[in-house]
Structure 1
Amino acid sequence: MVQNMLLFSRFSRTIALVLCISLISNCSQMATDNRQRGSQIDNPYTMPADAYLALAKNQQGAEKQALLILAAGQLIYEGQWKQSANILAQFNPLSEDLAKEKLLLLAKIDLIREQPNAAISKLAKINNISTIPAYYQIQFHEMLATAYFITKHPVESVHERIKLENILPNEQTKTNNRLALWMALSSLSEPEVSVLAAESPDDENMNGWVQLANISQKKFKNPQDILAHLQNWQAKFPNHPGNYILPKSQNDLSNYLFPEPKKIALLLPITGPISGPGNAIKDGFIAALENSPNRYNINIQTYNTNGENIQNLYNLAIQDGAEYVVGPLTKANVSEVAKLAHPVPTLLLNDADVKPKNNAYQFGLSPANEARQIAAKIHKKGMSRALVIAPAGTWGKDIIDAFASQFRTGGGQVVETFYFSPDDDLTNSIRELLHVSANDAKRKKEKPEKGHNKPLRREDFDVIFLVAYPTQARQIVPLLKYYYAGNIPVYATSNVYSGSTNVSKDRDLNDVIFCDMPWVFSHQVGGRNWPEQFNSYNRLYAMGMDAFALATQLNQLLLFPAVGINNKSGIIYLNNGQEISRILVFGKFVDGTAELRPYL
């Protein structure tokens, strides 16, 4: 059995939830889990919202208010937060307990509406939280933890999750909370972790988490040193909840941990048709090396994969003494190397058609992983009916399959998928997709007659998921707006953004929301005139830098559920498919510029 199966089989059922927490806009997940799992904590929402509203019609005073509060809460779970907000705006004053419940629901709506600071303000008005039922206490601390995390206050988020540990009802919800807490810790720099330790000298629970975070951030030249530090930590904190996020059989992993490499092989296309991406990754890798304190102790040897037998080239690198291999890049080459035995850690830079053998890890710019995170994000936003637009062919279908699978997991439905081809008449195709008649299209600029309520487009969807490169997206997005869908949010993979600012062209993408690595929003290291299907120079450059960082952080990924990686790819984690994946951030096109939007 491969090593990461030993490590993360127990995380495979919970990592999706942790991803949702990092993308959160409606943080009722733990309370929702409670009612789904039959927890001992009583859930107040036992009927559909319509049933509460019907009962409220026959009641007066406090009884009516209580039923309306229950209806408002249930509506949020049903994705109808706007209707919930309308109900909550109808009455005041309330009893103390009902006022607290109302504030909780309003805070939840604030998070859905991307207003975490407003949520924090409302939650701050709730006093004596310990006097309300445990169900609401959980929601209070969970929402605060989430709001603090997405407003860049991870320390406060950690404090709230430590409080949650003592009131969560079962091991599953505690595991989810511990993983979310670890995500917050992973976003802290080493100096920030040290400050956190200094602020809580007498808090054993906090000290345990802080010391564990310190171990995950240190660079260990000898792999046995990290195991020794972990064993010392466990001896010092034998009953700490952090023990539950660590692998149980650490000694079995010693054969898979490796010392800091002194000789690294890069297997990249340096010449030929895809030399651009190959050299971008190499540029980023070399830049990271030159900024490393160990730069004089590491020897880099590059092997040009263009036109070569990739298995022979990989074996040659091993024979030449490589202790860490980065590459190859193309999917075909990656699949060939994945079949081989890997005597040294090997970082494959694309998806493989086969599951890699031990000691090989897939690390690429995966649009399928992006699609899953977008699906989770959309679900958290309360949207459940998606219209999907993607390029025809295997590449587009694979991305849509990943999106649809994750979306269905959250109860969502893909209403229709439109696969476009290069020779399509997009004007007519988008019009037909939106069910806009030819006559309606002709009179688009005319105002409907008074009292005319006939919709000019289909209304069976509440979100659009778009997979397209910039050139295609700049045609599709304006057409969506032209044919009456301008009020529908559009989410896209990172492919929609070239990676370089182009205000005049990207104005056509205004309001499109997309996910990407943090590096892209804060760095413009250059651009290249190459086909947009190659992905941006910025992203590939950052991936090269990350590939170097993993030379010293791969051991931590084997031992911890996630680590922060120099604020380039965000938080990364290793799943049980031997894939290193990123938790990405979201941005939005505003006035032709891609802007990081941490609250999205």
Structure 2
Amino acid sequence: LGDRRPKIRIYDSAPGALAAYQRAIADGAQYVVGPLIKEEIQQILAAPVESTAADGATANQNAVPMLALNLLSDSPIDARAPGNAPLYQFALDPAEEAEQVAARLISDGKHHGMALVPNNDWGQRVQRAFEARLVELGGNVVATRAYDPAAKDFSDPIRSALLIDESRARANALSGSLGTRLEFEPRARADVEFVFIAAQPNAGRLLRPALRFHLVEDLPVYSTSQIFEPDSVGNMELEGVLFPDMPLVIAPDDVATQLRNTLTRYWPGRVRTNARLFAFGFDAYRLIPVLQGQHSQVSSSTTPGMTGLLSVDGNGRVRRLLEWARVVGGQARPIVSTASESQAKN
């Protein structure tokens, strides 16, 4: 970054994000990164243009750009930071990943499939984003079933989505009509080309084997990055699952490898579980000079990052184009990705 490298001052938001923000502005901050919690972002945006910090220092909020580390809503917005300054939003959004899964399916020639999602707000949000994008691109979800993420047996939602019970019922009815016992092997529905799973690691490691058991060994299984926990032995159960993830996790270049080595040296016990958050912070830092050069004008250029190929849309939202991987032997093996293709074109 040369001379454009920003100097960082960290403020503790434990006493309150608004107080930390006011203190930063009073100290002469030229750019604010954070906060992370959506309600705290909204609190800052609702603050008066000029206010006083807890110690009496005046916080002049005019024209200080802000990179919020969350999204204010799922819909396009034209929100501004205090003082009508530029507001950018950057998040590790599973709904955005689900949209990229839908696009990948169409690219892979898979248009019709089923979805298994947890019966909670997270699952519903991911499912809505996935299905909306799939339909927009000409595909459709022929069956969606919600599951209890705390369950140990997922046979019921899988059998229901695949119409296996209906197949068994038809065989029983035919057997009754003929008055004889028939040899019968239940069949899954034939109009499904893929299975989309929205799942955290524990549920995903049970869902994938359950799908094999219920006659869908040949169907490709797609998911989001939340299903994969880096460097975990439990990933052996996810064999064959395709998912998008950030370059730091599945396709590290020299810079990413150097970052991982540095993180391992300073936080050896946290890299595996927090790798994505470390990458998130790294990209937030590297975005500052990029966004400072934009402000009111949004560039169509892209910036390679640890969390993906980054760009900024017309609403100030930082978009991430991810790499793709397949689980092979418990490891995430890179495959041809939309991010790589885009980089090759630029």
> Could you tell me the TM-score, scaled by structure 1's length?
0.45
User: In structure 2, what is the Cα distance between the partners aligned to 1:561 and 1:453?
Assistant: 58
The amino acid across from 2:34 in the alignment is G
User: 1:382 aligns to what SS in structure 2?
Assistant: coil
| Alignment counterpart, residue 277 of structure 2, candidates 536, 540, 557 | 540
| Alignment counterpart, residue 374 of structure 1, candidates 94, 101, 110 | 101
In the alignment, is residue 348 of structure 1 matched against residue 68 of structure 2? yes
User: In structure 1, what is the Cα distance between the partners aligned to 2:235 and 2:150?
Assistant: 22
In the alignment, is residue 564 of structure 1 matched against residue 291 of structure 2? no
Instruction: Please report how far the alpha carbon of residue 437 of structure 1 lies from its aligned counterpart in structure 2 after TM superposition.
Output: 3.2
Q: Is the 8 A contact 2:103 2:134 kept in 1?
A: yes
Counterpart of 2:179 in structure 1 is none
The amino acid across from 2:28 in the alignment is G
Instruction: Please report how far the alpha carbon of residue 417 of structure 1 lies from its aligned counterpart in structure 2 after TM superposition.
Output: 1.6
Instruction: Please report how far the alpha carbon of residue 338 of structure 1 lies from its aligned counterpart in structure 2 after TM superposition.
Output: 4.2
Give the CA RMSD over aligned residues: 2.9
Counterpart of 1:301 in structure 2 is 9
Counterpart of 2:329 in structure 1 is 591
Which piece of structure 1 moves more, 312-321 or 470-479? 312-321
Which piece of structure 1 moves more, 458-467 or 483-492? 458-467
Instruction: Please report how far the alpha carbon of residue 496 of structure 1 lies from its aligned counterpart in structure 2 after TM superposition.
Output: 0.9
Larger radius of gyration: 1
User: In structure 1, what is the Cα distance between the partners aligned to 2:25 and 2:32?
Assistant: 8
Instruction: Please report how far the alpha carbon of residue 392 of structure 1 lies from its aligned counterpart in structure 2 after TM superposition.
Output: 1.7
Instruction: Please report how far the alpha carbon of residue 528 of structure 1 lies from its aligned counterpart in structure 2 after TM superposition.
Output: 8.4
Counterpart of 1:458 in structure 2 is 189
Instruction: Please report how far the alpha carbon of residue 454 of structure 1 lies from its aligned counterpart in structure 2 after TM superposition.
Output: 6.9
Instruction: Please report how far the alpha carbon of residue 453 of structure 1 lies from its aligned counterpart in structure 2 after TM superposition.
Output: 9.5
User: 2:70 aligns to what SS in structure 1?
Assistant: coil
The amino acid across from 1:378 in the alignment is L
Q: 1:539 to 1:478 in 2, by over 3 A?
A: same
Counterpart of 1:52 in structure 2 is none
Q: Is the 8 A contact 2:114 2:142 kept in 1?
A: yes
| Alignment counterpart, residue 228 of structure 2, candidates 497, 505, 510 | 497
User: In structure 1, what is the Cα distance between the partners aligned to 2:291 and 2:93?
Assistant: 19
User: In structure 1, what is the Cα distance between the partners aligned to 2:138 and 2:105?
Assistant: 11
Instruction: Please report how far the alpha carbon of residue 469 of structure 1 lies from its aligned counterpart in structure 2 after TM superposition.
Output: 0.8
More strand by share: 2
User: In structure 1, what is the Cα distance between the partners aligned to 2:89 and 2:281?
Assistant: 14
Deviation per residue, 1:204-261 (Å, 9 max, x gap): xxxxxxxxxxxxxxx696xxxxxxxxxxxxxxxxxxxxxxxxxxxxxxxxxxxxxx5x
User: In structure 2, what is the Cα distance between the partners aligned to 1:435 and 1:481?
Assistant: 15
User: 1:475 aligns to what SS in structure 2?
Assistant: helix
Deviation per residue, 1:284-306 (Å, 9 max, x gap): xxxxxxxxxx5xxx542222223
Q: 1:599 to 1:361 in 2, by over 3 A?
A: closer
User: In structure 1, what is the Cα distance between the partners aligned to 2:144 and 2:190?
Assistant: 15
User: In structure 1, what is the Cα distance between the partners aligned to 2:290 and 2:135?
Assistant: 34
Q: Structure 2: which 5+ residue stretches go unaligned?
A: 50-60, 169-182, 339-346
Task: Count residues in correspondence.
Answer: 290
Instruction: Please report how far the alpha carbon of residue 508 of structure 1 lies from its aligned counterpart in structure 2 after TM superposition.
Output: 0.6
Q: Is the 8 A contact 2:248 2:279 kept in 1?
A: yes
In the alignment, is residue 549 of structure 1 matched against residue 283 of structure 2? no
Identity %: 28
Counterpart of 1:507 in structure 2 is 236
Counterpart of 1:332 in structure 2 is 39
Q: How does 1:464-475 map to 2 (within 5 A)?
A: 464-475=195-206
Counterpart of 2:316 in structure 1 is 578
User: In structure 1, what is the Cα distance between the partners aligned to 2:196 and 2:99?
Assistant: 11
